[in-house]
Protein backbone atom coordinates (compact mmCIF):
# COMPACT_ATOMS: atom_id res chain seq x y z
CA UNK A 1 0.00 0.00 0.00
CA UNK A 2 1.34 3.45 -0.96
CA UNK A 3 1.72 5.93 1.87
CA UNK A 4 1.61 9.72 1.62
CA UNK A 5 1.98 12.46 4.16
CA UNK A 6 0.25 15.81 3.54
CA UNK A 7 1.91 18.65 5.44
CA UNK A 8 -0.51 21.50 6.20
CA UNK A 9 -4.25 21.34 6.80
CA UNK A 10 -5.34 24.52 5.02
CA UNK A 11 -7.72 24.27 2.08
CA UNK A 12 -4.88 23.02 -0.17
CA UNK A 13 -3.97 20.13 2.14
CA UNK A 14 -7.61 19.24 2.82
CA UNK A 15 -8.41 19.27 -0.92
CA UNK A 16 -5.44 17.02 -1.68
CA UNK A 17 -6.65 14.55 0.99
CA UNK A 18 -10.21 14.71 -0.38
CA UNK A 19 -9.02 14.04 -3.92
CA UNK A 20 -6.92 11.05 -2.83
CA UNK A 21 -9.84 9.64 -0.86
CA UNK A 22 -12.03 9.89 -3.92
CA UNK A 23 -9.76 8.52 -6.61
CA UNK A 24 -7.27 6.32 -4.71
CA UNK A 25 -8.89 5.14 -1.45
CA UNK A 26 -6.19 2.43 -1.33
CA UNK A 27 -3.48 5.06 -0.58
CA UNK A 28 -2.79 5.50 3.14
CA UNK A 29 -2.88 9.23 3.88
CA UNK A 30 -1.72 11.09 6.99
CA UNK A 31 -2.46 14.82 7.15
CA UNK A 32 -0.28 16.75 9.60
CA UNK A 33 -1.37 20.23 10.70
CA UNK A 34 0.81 22.40 12.95
CA UNK A 35 -1.98 24.34 14.65
CA UNK A 36 -4.86 23.11 16.80
CA UNK A 37 -7.35 23.22 13.91
CA UNK A 38 -7.54 22.52 10.21
CA UNK A 39 -8.75 25.10 7.68
CA UNK A 40 -5.75 27.49 7.69
CA UNK A 41 -7.00 30.83 6.37
CA UNK A 42 -10.57 29.56 6.29
CA UNK A 43 -11.73 30.35 9.79
CA UNK A 44 -14.94 31.72 11.25
CA UNK A 45 -15.03 33.53 14.57
CA UNK A 46 -18.24 34.12 16.46
CA UNK A 47 -18.77 37.07 18.80
CA UNK A 48 -21.53 36.11 21.25
CA UNK A 49 -22.92 39.40 22.58
CA UNK A 50 -26.03 40.36 24.61
CA UNK A 51 -27.61 41.81 21.43
CA UNK A 52 -27.03 38.54 19.51
CA UNK A 53 -24.27 36.70 17.66
CA UNK A 54 -21.93 38.06 15.01
CA UNK A 55 -20.43 35.66 12.45
CA UNK A 56 -17.04 37.00 11.35
CA UNK A 57 -14.63 35.53 8.85
CA UNK A 58 -10.98 35.80 9.92
CA UNK A 59 -9.64 35.07 6.42
CA UNK A 60 -11.41 34.22 3.17
CA UNK A 61 -15.12 34.94 2.94
CA UNK A 62 -16.28 34.79 -0.68
CA UNK A 63 -15.38 32.33 -3.38
CA UNK A 64 -15.55 32.14 -7.16
CA UNK A 65 -17.43 29.43 -9.00
CA UNK A 66 -15.72 29.94 -12.35
CA UNK A 67 -12.99 27.37 -11.46
CA UNK A 68 -15.38 24.44 -11.01
CA UNK A 69 -13.42 22.20 -8.59
CA UNK A 70 -14.28 24.15 -5.42
CA UNK A 71 -17.97 24.37 -6.25
CA UNK A 72 -17.97 20.66 -7.15
CA UNK A 73 -16.47 19.87 -3.74
CA UNK A 74 -19.12 22.05 -2.03
CA UNK A 75 -21.79 20.02 -3.87
CA UNK A 76 -20.14 16.69 -3.06
CA UNK A 77 -20.29 17.67 0.61
CA UNK A 78 -23.99 18.47 0.22
CA UNK A 79 -23.41 22.15 1.06
CA UNK A 80 -24.72 23.85 -2.08
CA UNK A 81 -27.81 24.85 -0.07
CA UNK A 82 -25.61 26.54 2.58
CA UNK A 83 -23.95 28.82 0.00
CA UNK A 84 -25.42 32.23 -0.90
CA UNK A 85 -24.58 34.51 -3.82
CA UNK A 86 -21.87 36.98 -2.73
CA UNK A 87 -22.34 39.69 -5.43
CA UNK A 88 -18.80 40.91 -4.81
CA UNK A 89 -18.60 43.43 -7.65
CA UNK A 90 -21.85 45.15 -6.67
CA UNK A 91 -21.46 48.19 -4.43
CA UNK A 92 -17.65 48.32 -4.61
CA UNK A 93 -16.22 51.82 -4.19
CA UNK A 94 -12.84 53.48 -4.64
CA UNK A 95 -11.49 56.44 -2.72
CA UNK A 96 -10.20 59.37 -4.75
CA UNK A 97 -8.93 62.48 -2.97
CA UNK A 98 -10.66 61.36 0.22
CA UNK A 99 -14.08 60.86 -1.44
CA UNK A 100 -15.63 57.45 -2.17
CA UNK A 101 -16.98 56.78 -5.67
CA UNK A 102 -18.71 53.63 -6.97
CA UNK A 103 -16.61 51.42 -9.23
CA UNK A 104 -18.44 51.54 -12.59
CA UNK A 105 -19.98 48.19 -13.56
CA UNK A 106 -21.92 49.26 -16.68
CA UNK A 107 -20.98 51.26 -19.81
CA UNK A 108 -23.26 54.14 -18.70
CA UNK A 109 -21.66 54.25 -15.23
CA UNK A 110 -18.20 54.13 -16.83
CA UNK A 111 -18.99 57.18 -18.98
CA UNK A 112 -20.24 59.10 -15.92
CA UNK A 113 -17.65 58.12 -13.31
CA UNK A 114 -15.48 60.94 -11.90
CA UNK A 115 -12.73 58.38 -11.21
CA UNK A 116 -11.29 58.99 -14.71
CA UNK A 117 -10.91 62.02 -17.00
CA UNK A 118 -12.49 62.00 -20.47
CA UNK A 119 -9.04 61.44 -21.93
CA UNK A 120 -8.46 58.45 -19.59
CA UNK A 121 -11.83 56.96 -20.57
CA UNK A 122 -11.11 57.35 -24.30
CA UNK A 123 -7.73 55.69 -23.84
CA UNK A 124 -9.38 52.76 -22.04
CA UNK A 125 -12.01 52.44 -24.75
CA UNK A 126 -9.30 52.21 -27.39
CA UNK A 127 -8.01 48.92 -25.92
CA UNK A 128 -9.54 46.61 -28.56
CA UNK A 129 -7.73 48.58 -31.27
CA UNK A 130 -4.26 48.46 -29.68
CA UNK A 131 -1.59 46.14 -31.06
CA UNK A 132 -1.47 42.92 -29.04
CA UNK A 133 1.57 41.22 -27.56
CA UNK A 134 1.13 37.52 -28.13
CA UNK A 135 4.50 36.09 -27.02
CA UNK A 136 3.08 34.90 -23.68
CA UNK A 137 5.96 36.55 -21.78
CA UNK A 138 5.47 37.68 -18.21
CA UNK A 139 5.54 41.36 -17.22
CA UNK A 140 4.43 43.46 -14.26
CA UNK A 141 0.74 44.10 -13.74
CA UNK A 142 1.51 47.84 -14.03
CA UNK A 143 3.19 47.45 -17.43
CA UNK A 144 0.39 45.23 -18.73
CA UNK A 145 -2.43 47.53 -17.62
CA UNK A 146 -0.62 50.64 -18.90
CA UNK A 147 0.09 49.00 -22.27
CA UNK A 148 -3.51 47.89 -22.74
CA UNK A 149 -5.56 50.60 -20.98
CA UNK A 150 -3.25 53.58 -20.37
CA UNK A 151 -1.46 55.08 -17.36
CA UNK A 152 -4.53 56.78 -15.95
CA UNK A 153 -6.44 53.49 -15.83
CA UNK A 154 -3.53 51.99 -13.90
CA UNK A 155 -3.28 54.87 -11.42
CA UNK A 156 -6.94 55.61 -10.90
CA UNK A 157 -8.96 52.44 -11.49
CA UNK A 158 -7.42 49.07 -12.33
CA UNK A 159 -4.19 49.38 -10.34
CA UNK A 160 -6.02 50.24 -7.09
CA UNK A 161 -8.60 47.47 -7.65
CA UNK A 162 -6.12 44.69 -8.52
CA UNK A 163 -3.53 45.97 -6.04
CA UNK A 164 -6.26 46.08 -3.39
CA UNK A 165 -7.48 42.55 -4.07
CA UNK A 166 -3.96 41.09 -3.89
CA UNK A 167 -2.65 43.58 -1.31
CA UNK A 168 0.31 44.06 -3.63
CA UNK A 169 2.27 46.64 -5.57
CA UNK A 170 1.25 46.44 -9.28
CA UNK A 171 4.77 47.59 -10.28
CA UNK A 172 6.29 44.24 -9.22
CA UNK A 173 3.35 41.82 -9.35
CA UNK A 174 3.46 39.23 -12.15
CA UNK A 175 0.53 39.56 -14.57
CA UNK A 176 0.83 35.88 -15.49
CA UNK A 177 0.45 34.86 -11.86
CA UNK A 178 -2.16 37.39 -10.81
CA UNK A 179 -4.29 38.12 -13.86
CA UNK A 180 -3.82 35.02 -16.03
CA UNK A 181 -7.25 35.34 -17.64
CA UNK A 182 -6.56 38.91 -18.86
CA UNK A 183 -3.14 37.91 -20.13
CA UNK A 184 -4.70 34.94 -21.94
CA UNK A 185 -7.44 37.15 -23.41
CA UNK A 186 -4.83 39.39 -25.03
CA UNK A 187 -2.78 36.42 -26.27
CA UNK A 188 -5.72 34.54 -27.79
CA UNK A 189 -8.11 37.31 -28.87
CA UNK A 190 -5.66 40.20 -29.39
CA UNK A 191 -7.60 42.31 -26.86
CA UNK A 192 -8.55 41.97 -23.19
CA UNK A 193 -12.00 43.51 -23.76
CA UNK A 194 -12.76 41.27 -26.75
CA UNK A 195 -11.56 38.19 -24.86
CA UNK A 196 -13.63 39.03 -21.77
CA UNK A 197 -16.75 39.71 -23.86
CA UNK A 198 -16.36 36.34 -25.61
CA UNK A 199 -15.83 34.64 -22.26
CA UNK A 200 -18.92 36.17 -20.69
CA UNK A 201 -20.98 35.16 -23.76
CA UNK A 202 -19.66 31.59 -23.33
CA UNK A 203 -20.35 31.62 -19.58
CA UNK A 204 -23.88 32.93 -20.16
CA UNK A 205 -24.67 30.06 -22.51
CA UNK A 206 -23.19 27.48 -20.11
CA UNK A 207 -25.13 28.83 -17.10
CA UNK A 208 -28.30 27.05 -18.18
CA UNK A 209 -30.22 25.48 -15.29
CA UNK A 210 -28.61 22.10 -15.98
CA UNK A 211 -25.08 23.52 -15.71
CA UNK A 212 -23.12 21.96 -12.85
CA UNK A 213 -21.27 25.23 -12.24
CA UNK A 214 -23.55 28.25 -12.03
CA UNK A 215 -21.81 31.60 -12.27
CA UNK A 216 -21.01 34.21 -9.67
CA UNK A 217 -19.25 34.34 -6.32
CA UNK A 218 -20.67 32.68 -3.22
CA UNK A 219 -20.23 32.76 0.56
CA UNK A 220 -21.45 30.57 3.41
CA UNK A 221 -24.13 32.37 5.38
CA UNK A 222 -23.32 30.32 8.50
CA UNK A 223 -19.59 31.03 8.12
CA UNK A 224 -16.91 29.20 6.15
CA UNK A 225 -16.37 26.85 9.12
CA UNK A 226 -19.48 25.01 7.93
CA UNK A 227 -17.48 23.99 4.86
CA UNK A 228 -14.24 23.20 6.72
CA UNK A 229 -16.05 21.15 9.38
CA UNK A 230 -18.00 19.16 6.78
CA UNK A 231 -14.83 18.42 4.84
CA UNK A 232 -12.95 17.40 7.99
CA UNK A 233 -15.82 15.13 9.06
CA UNK A 234 -15.94 13.34 5.71
CA UNK A 235 -12.18 12.68 5.52
CA UNK A 236 -11.43 9.09 6.50
CA UNK A 237 -7.64 9.51 6.57
CA UNK A 238 -5.53 10.08 9.68
CA UNK A 239 -5.80 13.84 10.37
CA UNK A 240 -3.53 15.06 13.17
CA UNK A 241 -3.57 18.58 14.58
CA UNK A 242 -0.84 20.10 16.81
CA UNK A 243 1.51 18.06 14.65
CA UNK A 244 4.07 20.38 13.03
CA UNK A 245 6.54 18.80 10.62
CA UNK A 246 10.01 20.01 11.53
CA UNK A 247 12.06 18.75 8.59
CA UNK A 248 12.26 16.29 5.70
CA UNK A 249 14.94 13.83 4.60
CA UNK A 250 15.07 12.02 1.30
CA UNK A 251 16.46 8.52 0.84
CA UNK A 252 14.73 5.68 -0.97
CA UNK A 253 11.59 7.05 0.67
CA UNK A 254 10.86 10.37 2.34
CA UNK A 255 11.13 10.79 6.10
CA UNK A 256 9.23 13.54 7.92
CA UNK A 257 10.53 14.61 11.32
CA UNK A 258 7.79 15.42 13.86
CA UNK A 259 8.16 16.54 17.48
CA UNK A 260 8.31 13.04 18.99
CA UNK A 261 8.63 10.66 16.06
CA UNK A 262 9.67 10.19 12.47
CA UNK A 263 7.37 9.06 9.69
CA UNK A 264 8.68 7.43 6.50
CA UNK A 265 6.38 7.51 3.51
CA UNK A 266 6.42 7.05 -0.27
CA UNK A 267 5.56 10.69 -0.97
CA UNK A 268 5.03 14.03 0.75
CA UNK A 269 2.63 16.74 -0.39
CA UNK A 270 3.79 20.07 1.02
CA UNK A 271 0.64 22.18 1.41
CA UNK A 272 2.18 24.97 3.49
CA UNK A 273 3.33 28.43 2.43
CA UNK A 274 6.53 28.54 0.36
CA UNK A 275 8.47 29.98 3.31
CA UNK A 276 7.64 26.92 5.45
CA UNK A 277 8.38 24.61 2.49
CA UNK A 278 11.78 26.37 2.18
CA UNK A 279 12.67 25.38 5.74
CA UNK A 280 11.38 21.82 5.40
CA UNK A 281 13.32 21.11 2.19
CA UNK A 282 16.61 22.69 3.30
CA UNK A 283 18.29 19.30 3.90
CA UNK A 284 17.07 17.89 0.57
CA UNK A 285 17.98 20.67 -1.89
CA UNK A 286 19.60 23.91 -0.78
CA UNK A 287 18.91 25.34 -4.23
CA UNK A 288 15.17 24.54 -4.13
CA UNK A 289 14.96 25.78 -0.56
CA UNK A 290 16.61 29.09 -1.50
CA UNK A 291 14.21 29.62 -4.40
CA UNK A 292 11.21 28.75 -2.20
CA UNK A 293 12.41 31.36 0.30
CA UNK A 294 12.42 33.97 -2.50
CA UNK A 295 8.61 33.62 -2.78
CA UNK A 296 7.74 36.17 -0.14
CA UNK A 297 4.53 36.64 1.76
CA UNK A 298 3.06 39.98 2.70
CA UNK A 299 1.61 40.21 6.23
CA UNK A 300 -2.03 41.26 6.24
CA UNK A 301 -4.22 42.24 9.14
CA UNK A 302 -7.97 42.39 9.48
CA UNK A 303 -10.16 43.78 12.19
CA UNK A 304 -13.87 43.17 12.57
CA UNK A 305 -15.80 46.03 14.19
CA UNK A 306 -19.44 46.22 15.25
CA UNK A 307 -21.71 49.19 15.96
CA UNK A 308 -25.36 49.98 16.41
CA UNK A 309 -26.51 50.76 12.87
CA UNK A 310 -27.93 54.07 14.12
CA UNK A 311 -24.38 55.14 15.11
CA UNK A 312 -22.77 54.66 11.67
CA UNK A 313 -23.71 57.06 8.86
CA UNK A 314 -23.21 54.61 5.99
CA UNK A 315 -24.91 54.19 2.63
CA UNK A 316 -26.41 50.67 2.71
CA UNK A 317 -25.61 50.20 -0.98
CA UNK A 318 -21.91 50.30 -0.13
CA UNK A 319 -20.50 46.78 0.08
CA UNK A 320 -16.79 47.50 0.05
CA UNK A 321 -14.28 50.30 -0.37
CA UNK A 322 -10.75 50.02 -1.72
CA UNK A 323 -8.35 52.74 -0.63
CA UNK A 324 -5.52 53.21 -3.18
CA UNK A 325 -2.01 53.60 -1.78
CA UNK A 326 -1.66 57.04 -3.34
CA UNK A 327 -4.32 58.28 -0.88
CA UNK A 328 -1.65 57.77 1.83
CA UNK A 329 -4.11 56.30 4.33
CA UNK A 330 -3.19 53.63 6.89
CA UNK A 331 -5.84 51.08 5.85
CA UNK A 332 -6.26 49.27 2.52
CA UNK A 333 -9.91 48.31 2.25
CA UNK A 334 -13.16 48.09 4.18
CA UNK A 335 -15.80 45.42 3.63
CA UNK A 336 -19.29 46.21 4.85
CA UNK A 337 -19.87 42.64 5.96
CA UNK A 338 -23.44 43.07 7.20
CA UNK A 339 -24.45 45.01 4.06
CA UNK A 340 -23.27 42.00 2.02
CA UNK A 341 -24.58 39.31 4.39
CA UNK A 342 -27.19 40.75 6.79
CA UNK A 343 -27.30 37.45 8.73
CA UNK A 344 -23.74 37.98 10.03
CA UNK A 345 -24.89 40.63 12.57
CA UNK A 346 -27.96 40.93 14.82
CA UNK A 347 -30.78 43.09 13.38
CA UNK A 348 -30.07 46.79 13.99
CA UNK A 349 -26.27 46.28 14.15
CA UNK A 350 -23.56 46.79 11.52
CA UNK A 351 -20.39 44.74 11.07
CA UNK A 352 -17.37 46.06 9.12
CA UNK A 353 -14.11 44.33 8.21
CA UNK A 354 -11.07 46.56 7.82
CA UNK A 355 -7.92 45.33 6.01
CA UNK A 356 -4.47 46.77 6.70
CA UNK A 357 -0.77 46.02 6.18
CA UNK A 358 -0.33 47.04 2.52
CA UNK A 359 -0.28 50.86 2.43
CA UNK A 360 1.31 51.10 5.87
CA UNK A 361 3.48 48.05 6.53
CA UNK A 362 4.05 49.13 10.15
CA UNK A 363 0.38 48.57 11.08
CA UNK A 364 0.44 44.76 11.69
CA UNK A 365 3.30 45.21 14.18
CA UNK A 366 1.41 47.78 16.35
CA UNK A 367 0.04 46.86 19.77
CA UNK A 368 -3.74 46.40 19.85
CA UNK A 369 -4.65 49.74 21.42
CA UNK A 370 -2.69 52.09 19.06
CA UNK A 371 -3.70 49.91 16.11
CA UNK A 372 -7.41 50.21 16.91
CA UNK A 373 -7.00 53.95 17.46
CA UNK A 374 -5.29 54.32 14.05
CA UNK A 375 -8.12 52.39 12.39
CA UNK A 376 -10.79 54.45 14.15
CA UNK A 377 -9.05 57.65 13.00
CA UNK A 378 -9.14 56.40 9.39
CA UNK A 379 -12.83 55.43 9.62
CA UNK A 380 -13.67 58.85 11.07
CA UNK A 381 -11.84 60.67 8.26
CA UNK A 382 -13.17 58.48 5.44
CA UNK A 383 -16.74 57.70 6.56
CA UNK A 384 -17.48 60.08 9.42
CA UNK A 385 -17.76 57.23 11.98
CA UNK A 386 -17.07 58.76 15.40
CA UNK A 387 -18.90 56.39 17.78
CA UNK A 388 -16.67 53.83 19.53
CA UNK A 389 -17.27 50.28 18.25
CA UNK A 390 -19.14 47.88 20.53
CA UNK A 391 -16.84 45.00 19.59
CA UNK A 392 -13.48 44.71 17.87
CA UNK A 393 -11.72 41.52 16.89
CA UNK A 394 -8.20 41.54 15.39
CA UNK A 395 -6.45 38.99 13.21
CA UNK A 396 -2.99 39.16 11.74
CA UNK A 397 -1.71 36.76 9.10
CA UNK A 398 2.09 36.95 8.89
CA UNK A 399 2.01 34.90 5.66
CA UNK A 400 -1.09 36.73 4.37
CA UNK A 401 -0.75 37.07 0.59
CA UNK A 402 2.01 35.77 -1.63
CA UNK A 403 4.00 38.39 -3.52
CA UNK A 404 4.05 36.73 -6.93
CA UNK A 405 6.63 38.94 -8.62
CA UNK A 406 7.50 38.90 -12.35
CA UNK A 407 8.99 35.50 -13.27
CA UNK A 408 6.98 33.72 -10.55
CA UNK A 409 5.82 30.83 -12.77
CA UNK A 410 9.32 30.15 -14.03
CA UNK A 411 10.61 30.14 -10.43
CA UNK A 412 7.92 27.63 -9.44
CA UNK A 413 8.72 25.34 -12.39
CA UNK A 414 12.41 25.42 -11.52
CA UNK A 415 11.69 24.48 -7.89
CA UNK A 416 9.70 21.45 -9.08
CA UNK A 417 12.70 20.27 -11.11
CA UNK A 418 15.08 20.66 -8.17
CA UNK A 419 13.10 18.50 -5.74
CA UNK A 420 12.61 14.70 -5.88
CA UNK A 421 9.35 13.85 -7.65
CA UNK A 422 8.10 12.20 -4.44
CA UNK A 423 7.95 15.68 -2.89
CA UNK A 424 5.05 17.69 -4.33
CA UNK A 425 4.03 21.25 -3.50
CA UNK A 426 0.65 22.87 -3.52
CA UNK A 427 -1.12 25.86 -1.98
CA UNK A 428 -1.51 29.60 -2.40
CA UNK A 429 2.21 30.25 -2.90
CA UNK A 430 2.35 28.72 -6.37
CA UNK A 431 -0.53 29.04 -8.84
CA UNK A 432 -3.04 31.52 -7.41
CA UNK A 433 -4.08 32.72 -3.96
CA UNK A 434 -7.86 32.36 -4.33
CA UNK A 435 -9.40 29.41 -2.51
CA UNK A 436 -10.82 28.08 -5.80
CA UNK A 437 -7.29 28.18 -7.31
CA UNK A 438 -5.89 26.35 -4.26
CA UNK A 439 -8.52 23.58 -4.58
CA UNK A 440 -7.92 23.18 -8.32
CA UNK A 441 -4.16 23.09 -7.93
CA UNK A 442 -4.21 20.63 -4.98
CA UNK A 443 -6.34 18.23 -6.98
CA UNK A 444 -4.02 18.54 -9.99
CA UNK A 445 -1.03 17.96 -7.71
CA UNK A 446 -2.55 14.64 -6.58
CA UNK A 447 -3.44 13.63 -10.15
CA UNK A 448 0.10 14.39 -11.33
CA UNK A 449 1.67 12.41 -8.49
CA UNK A 450 -0.50 9.40 -9.26
CA UNK A 451 0.34 9.62 -12.95
CA UNK A 452 4.09 9.99 -12.26
CA UNK A 453 6.89 7.43 -11.98
CA UNK A 454 7.15 8.34 -8.29
CA UNK A 455 3.79 6.62 -7.61
Ligand X SMILES: Cc1cc2nc3c(=O)[nH]c(=O)nc-3n(C[C@H](O)[C@H](O)[C@H](O)COP(=O)(O)OP(=O)(O)OC[C@H]3O[C@@H](n4cnc5c(N)ncnc54)[C@H](O)[C@@H]3O)c2cc1C
| Residue number with CB closer to ligand X (42 or 406) | 42
Binding mask 217-246 for ligand X (x = CB under 6 A): ---------------------------xx-
Q: Is 320 in the site for ligand X (CB under 6 A)?
A: no
All residues at 6 or more sequence positions from 58 whose CB lies less than 8 Å from its CB, including other chains: 41, 43, 44, 45, 302, 395
Q: Check residue 314 and report its DSSP letter.
A: -
| Residue number with CB closer to ligand X (116 or 323) | 323
| Residue number with CB closer to ligand X (8 or 91) | 8
Q: Is 400 in the site for ligand X (CB under 6 A)?
A: yes
Contacts by 75-78, CB closer than 8 A, 24 or more apart? 75/212, 77/227, 77/230, 77/231, 77/234, 78/230
Kindly state the number of chain residues that form the binding site for ligand X, as judged by CB under 6 A.
Answer: 35
In angstroms, the CA 396 to CA 299 distance is 7
| Residue number with CB closer to ligand X (73 or 124) | 73
CB of 245 to ligand X, least distance (A): 4
| Residue number with CB closer to ligand X (371 or 438) | 438
CB of 257 to ligand X, least distance (A): 10
- Nearest-5° angle of CA 224, CA 230, CA 236? 140
Binding mask 265-294 for ligand X (x = CB under 6 A): ------xxx--x------------------
Q: Is 12 in the site for ligand X (CB under 6 A)?
A: yes
Q: Is 336 in the site for ligand X (CB under 6 A)?
A: no
Q: How far is CA 367 from CA 47, 373, 386, in A?
A: 21, 10, 21
Strand partners, 93: 102, 321
| Residue number with CB closer to ligand X (344 or 433) | 433
Q: Is 333 in the site for ligand X (CB under 6 A)?
A: no
Only one of the segments 138-146, 324-332, 374-382, 427-435 lies at the binding site for ligand X (rule: CB under 6 A); that segment is 427-435
Interface with ligand X (CB under 6 A), residue from 239, 372, 428, 445: 428
Three-state SS string over 227-270 comes to HHHHHHHHCCCEEECCCCCCEEEECCCEEEECCCCEEEECEEEE
In angstroms, the CA 104 to CA 94 distance is 10
- CB hemisphere CA count around 413 (13 angstroms): 5
Amino acid sequence: MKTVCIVGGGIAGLSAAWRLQQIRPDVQVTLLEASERVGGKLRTERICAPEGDYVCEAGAESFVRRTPDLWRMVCELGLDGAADAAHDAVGMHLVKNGVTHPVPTSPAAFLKTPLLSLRGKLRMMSEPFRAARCDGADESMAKFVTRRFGREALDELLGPIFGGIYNADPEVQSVLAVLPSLHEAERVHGSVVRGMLRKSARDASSALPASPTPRGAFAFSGGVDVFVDALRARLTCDVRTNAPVLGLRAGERITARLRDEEMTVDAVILATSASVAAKLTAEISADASERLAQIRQQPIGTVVLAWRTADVPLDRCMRGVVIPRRERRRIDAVLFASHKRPSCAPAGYTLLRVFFGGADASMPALAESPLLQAIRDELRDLFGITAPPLHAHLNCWQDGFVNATVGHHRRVEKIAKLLPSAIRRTGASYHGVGVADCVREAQQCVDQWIASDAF
